[in-house]
Structure 1
């Protein structure tokens, strides 16, 4: 018996008990093998044919690892693969689904008219069932002009102190664009180069003002530029009052009056509070307006001050809605959230004088005057009449 092959066998190959053993096989061993057995001199030998296929795990390599394009360009990406059998190729966009304009032809991926959403990492995957799939990555960088956005206007807040005293504020803008834009800050048209501390990463750019004074209030503009264009947005640093909150409960101790308490944060002393109240259960009821003029304050004041004001001429056993906004020299606040309260059915007064051993008292107001004395007079008169 002998073996024949159409390839050259290496010295490590050997035959044991009519079995051909091949060590350290590689792709050069793929081919046809024939086992021949000569059984009679005058007869053709018996033959058994074998086709050997060597499985080779897939390997893949990106033709370009970084591709740069502008919005609207057509883009071609390609990978080179190896393996036995021939690998199948698939594509993944790590940041999301492939663009609807994508066309896959084997190891080639084309995108017509790329947009900024198409940017990111593309993964070329090769798989042939022999071992783990191979993969390589291509970074697609789609260049586009800057886009700038800013949050709501910044209202300065802080602890107690005098007008213009120290407290910090952070002014930020959110910037996107490729290449990463250069950002500069302006206040009222003046370049703020080195005037304040700044922080930034690839998308967030901020100014830190450690000691806000009245000279720091105003309009700040964030300007972003790259080789694709320019964009800007503005944000207002304001000293107007903010965070107006009503502290009063939902119940009243009177049928015609409600003691309204509230707190407000303000950079400067609050000068006025505008109060609006209306009946809650009446459709389209008109607001009744009250004005509380705050006393002037020239020295240190509490920036989170608390105030109170009596709402009068209310109807008994009625639900009311009330809201407040406050003013200072820099402007007015937003209205507070609407607060709802209810007046009493009858006009009871509350005595918190707390006589020793007797606790707190309630008594009924009659005709606008306290009826306690009249009640005692009537009781004494009835006792004397019975005697």
Structure 2
């Protein structure tokens, strides 16, 4: 009988050893619970049926991260709010909050000779995103050319994705980023930048940052040359963009314009106007609109002149007036003062040549007209057959010669104008005027008039 009892004890030890080495396992696997705020979460902590004997599991402890929060063997230890430790060792958390996010470890204490066993779980309390902008006040001001750095720090579980818009348009970035860094190379980059944080929980969070780019004055005008005459009323305009706001000064030459009831400055938004009533001949000249702020200075020159406006050719294809060797040109010139004469320059047109033909000049008297629009027609004779020509016009009144007209290309019967000939007129205008000057300098006739004419062309055109 004693031998049987000894054999029984050995069997108990062997079975217990097998349980301790091979059969001790938890009844559920480690898990990560993703829960919405205010949901209830249950974290299991009990062994399988064989190892869950009351004598085998001595006590259960729960840790959040590294902190002990529950111990079944210590009745005096208070559980955190909304936490329940069940008899089977499971931990239940009611109405979970974001601060409950973390790693939870259950530890089952077993009697000798077995040590404790542990299992880890995790809770992620999902909550809507939030963003914190930088600068915190949502406003950033930089100078033109300086570096811009704005950012939005996202919070939320899961961690949110950040996207950006500027002036209501989505920014096409190669990746999602919290920080935007760029150079304020263009003042048009100013505006409202909005970051949007999204994580699929609740509504996306948004924050706005207004970027203001300050810059020195930028100037423009619709007319850099204005035709007028004594007794008329004229406005000289310049548009000024500047931040901070610029101080505007009008000058004639390098002298500030004398302002009075006849010469009056006016401002309408970014448009600055110098109004001159009852123009006098002494008002003719170059005016400068000058703008200054703390970042720099800008200016633009506008000429007030009594000489005629450049003439404009009227294209005609009247076959009754145009023949193989002649062509009738028609033009109009705007001038408040009567036109005295015209100079008509023409030559055969040669494309893509470094040595174009010389110009021929014709001096054409004017006809009586009341103005201010002066019209004239003139037939050039002795032209070559089937040839393309080009012509330009200058006109003179008592105040001097006008700037050259746009070049007209025309053809005698049998020749055709193609699209390229017409569209390259403006491109070649300066080259043609230069050729006009050099070819005319070899002619001795009317030299005094030529010198006077070229002086005005260079002064007004260049």
> Shorter-chain TM-score: which interval?
0.5 to 0.7
Which residue pairs with 2:296 in the alignment?
Answer: 229
Which residue pairs with 1:178 in the alignment?
Answer: 243
Q: Does residue 290 in structure 1 map to residue 362 in structure 2?
A: yes
What's the RMSD between the two structures over aligned residues?
4.5
1:122-133 to 2 correspondences below 5 Å: 122-133=193-204
Tell me, in whole angstroms, the C-alpha distance in 1 between the residues paired with 2:381 and 2:149: 76
Alignment check: 8 A CA contact 1:254 1:344 kept: no
How far off its partner does 1:82 sit? 3.8
Alignment check: 8 A CA contact 1:221 1:232 kept: yes
Alignment check: 8 A CA contact 1:319 1:343 kept: no
The 1:253/1:29 distance shift into structure 2, 3 A limit, reads closer
Q: Does residue 245 in structure 1 map to residue 312 in structure 2?
A: yes
Which residue pairs with 1:271 in the alignment?
Answer: 340
Tell me, in whole angstroms, the C-alpha distance in 2 between the residues paired with 1:109 and 1:315: 68
How far off its partner does 1:27 sit? 4.7
The 1:74/1:156 distance shift into structure 2, 3 A limit, reads closer
Tell me, in whole angstroms, the C-alpha distance in 1 between the residues paired with 2:154 and 2:414: 85
Structure 2 gap ranges (5+): 1-40, 44-78, 84-91, 105-119, 416-462
Which residue pairs with 1:371 in the alignment?
Answer: none
TM (normalized to structure 1)? Answer: 0.61
1:2-81 to 2 correspondences below 5 Å: 8=81, 27=98, 53-62=124-133, 63-70=136-143, 76-81=149-154
How far off its partner does 1:59 sit? 2.4
Tell me, in whole angstroms, the C-alpha distance in 2 between the residues paired with 1:106 and 1:318: 66
1:136 to 188, 194, 207: 207
TM (normalized to structure 2)? Answer: 0.53
CA deviation string 1:143-196 (max 9, x = no partner): 333333445522327xxxxx53435444224x3443232222223322365633
Which residue pairs with 1:190 in the alignment?
Answer: 256
How far off its partner does 1:116 sit? 4.9
RCO comparison, higher one (Cα < 8 Å, 6+): 1
1:335 to 405, 412, 436: 405
Counting matched residue pairs gives 304
The 1:280/1:110 distance shift into structure 2, 3 A limit, reads closer
Between Structure 1 and Structure 2, the one with more helix by share is 2
Tell me, in whole angstroms, the C-alpha distance in 2 between the residues paired with 1:317 and 1:109: 65
Structure 1 gap ranges (5+): 11-19, 34-48, 158-162, 346-387
Q: Which has the larger radius of gyration?
A: 2
1:114-125 to 2 correspondences below 5 Å: 115-116=185-186, 119-125=190-196
How far off its partner does 1:340 sit? 0.8
Any idea what SS the aligned residue of 1:55 has? strand
How far off its partner does 1:226 sit? 1.3
